[in-house]
């Protein structure tokens, strides 16, 4: 039987981005194995990792612990991971590997070169980007450029990365696939009765406007800017839900108290019921500094939510300013977020209009559309 290894730095990346890839490959007749760090660095909780392992076992997917570190400076750990991957490739003799994440992609491609294994690499948003920190360009661009020479297929998920890869990288083939695809049946707006029922389950008064953000509690997701904006309009009737875990949780809790937002903002932690949480929301707030093509943003659009988000790579593929929502540039960002949020909080009609536009736009990013592209790539590799 043909074999393929899906490689990522952490197990949460398998859960969030690769379950459909596994199904497609199995449908094409491949035995699929997974290699990642199940023990450390994950953005979900231990229970979710156990559920993932059971799910993979039911699908007859073999799992291998690879001791990746998401920290590029943890050289010893990642050298250890390289030898683990290399031994796995030598013993299992895969037809090809499909790598994800900068660390997984770097180590996987070098190990693939050393063992003569073909490699597909998906860049979920290069860590260097237009207007990004010079440090990121100096650190990540040379590594991606070097590894592109030993990449058989490079997949990018937004237009900025695709154009850069075509211009500067040297993979044998470069493809554009718009993210992981959104299941439009799972993520869709329910009626008002269901929305109010879910609000009550969350302890929210029916007439409160619910703002929602999803993402790790870290500097990149930029929740602090959202809180600064909301401080200016805290007299408005809203509740702000933040779903995710991370190292900034305590910092954000202190900031919420300091800004007088304790009755307005709720940190919900990691959630496994996001399709329900979306139904309670009225506005999606996404102030992230760097994204590839956000699945959370696409899910929000599929649920018919108007969006207020940062004007960055990936987001601009999805949102046209004033149509599906508002794009906010970095300069004086919290003031611009405040003005955009005030407009949407005050106008039900504007929320409904932008939400309908968002739902229409996301059809081009549907699961079916993405699966057709991935199947074509897998079939066309000739591996």
Question: pLDDT per residue over 259-282, tens digit each?
Answer: 999 999 999 999 988 989 999 999
For CATH 3.40.50.2000, the residue range(s) in the chain are 2-181+366-380, 192-364
3-state secondary structure the chain: CEEEEEEEEEHHHHHHHCHHHHHHHHHCCEEEEEEEECCCCCCCCHHHHHHHHHHHHHCCCEEEECCCCCCCCCHHHHHHHHHHHHHHHHHHCCCEEEEECHHHHHHHHHHHHHHCCEEEEEECCCCCCCCCCHHHHHHHHHHHHHHHCCCCEEEECCHHHHHHHHHHCCCCEEEECCCCCECCCCCCCCCHHHHHHHHHHCCCCCCCEEEEEECCCCCCCCHHHHHHHHHCCCCCCEEEEEECCCCCHHHHHHHHHHCCCCCCEEEEECCCCHHHHHHHCCEEEECCCCCCCCHHHHHHHHCCCCEEEECCCCHHHHCCECCCEEEECCCCHHHHHHHHHHHHHHCHHHHHHHHHHHHHHHHHHEHHHHHHHHHHHHHHCCC
Pairing of strands 325-328, 30-37: unpaired
pLDDT at 383: 61
CA gap 284, 372 in Å, rounded: 29
CATH 4.10.520.10 assigned to domain 2-181+366-380? The reply is: no
Residues of the chain with pLDDT under 50: none
**pLDDT value at position 213?**
97
Does this model's pTM top 0.85?
A: yes
pLDDT of amino acid 132: 87
At 382 the pLDDT is 58
Please give the CATH superfamily to which domain 192-364 belongs. Answer: Glycogen Phosphorylase B; (3.40.50.2000)
Could you read off the pLDDT of 186-210 as tens digits, one per residue? 898 877 888 888 888 888 977 899 9
């Amino acid at each position: 039987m043909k074999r393929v290894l899906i490689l990522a730095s952490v197990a949460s990346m398998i859960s969030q981005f690769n379950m459909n890839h596994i199904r497609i490959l199995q449908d094409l007749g491949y035995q699929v194995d997974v290699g990642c760090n199940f023990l450390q660095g994950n953005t979900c909780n231990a229970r979710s990792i156990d559920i993932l392992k059971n799910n993979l076992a039911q699908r007859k997917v073999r799992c291998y612990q690879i001791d990746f570190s998401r920290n590029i400076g943890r050289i010893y750990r990642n050298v250890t991971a390289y030898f683990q991957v290399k031994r796995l490739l030598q013993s299992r003799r895969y037809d090809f590997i499909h790598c994800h994440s900068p660390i997984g992609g770097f180590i996987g491609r070098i190990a693939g070169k050393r063992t003569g294994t073909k490699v597909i690499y998906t860049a979920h948003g290069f860590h260097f980007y237009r207007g990004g920190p010079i440090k990121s360009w100096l650190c990540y661009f040379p590594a991606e450029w070097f590894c592109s020479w030993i990449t058989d297929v490079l997949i990018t998920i937004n237009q900025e990365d695709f154009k850069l890869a075509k211009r500067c990288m040297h993979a044998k083939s470069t493809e554009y696939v718009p993210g992981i695809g959104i299941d439009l049946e799972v993520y869709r707006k329910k009626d008002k009765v269901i929305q109010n029922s879910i609000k009550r389950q969350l302890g929210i008064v029916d007439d409160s406007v619910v703002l929602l953000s999803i993402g790790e509690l870290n500097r990149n997701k930029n929740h602090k800017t959202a809180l600064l904006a909301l401080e200016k309009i805290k007299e408005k009737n809203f509740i702000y839900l933040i779903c995710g875990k991370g190292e900034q949780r305590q910092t954000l809790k202190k900031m919420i108290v300091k800004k007088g937002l304790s009755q307005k903002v709720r940190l919900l932690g990691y959630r496994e019921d996001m399709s329900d949480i979306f139904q309670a929301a009225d506005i999606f707030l996404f102030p992230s500094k760097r994204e590839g093509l956000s699945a959370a943003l696409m899910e929000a659009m599929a649920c018919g939510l108007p969006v207020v988000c940062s004007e960055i790579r990936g987001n601009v593929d999805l949102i046209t300013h004033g149509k599906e929502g508002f794009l906010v540039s970095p300069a004086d960002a919290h003031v611009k977020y405040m003005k955009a949020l005030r407009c949407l909080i005050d106008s039900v009609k504007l929320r409904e209009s932008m939400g309908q536009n968002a739902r229409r736009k996301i059809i081009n990013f549907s699961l079916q559309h993405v699966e057709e592209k991935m199947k074509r790539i897998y079939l066309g590799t000739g591996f």
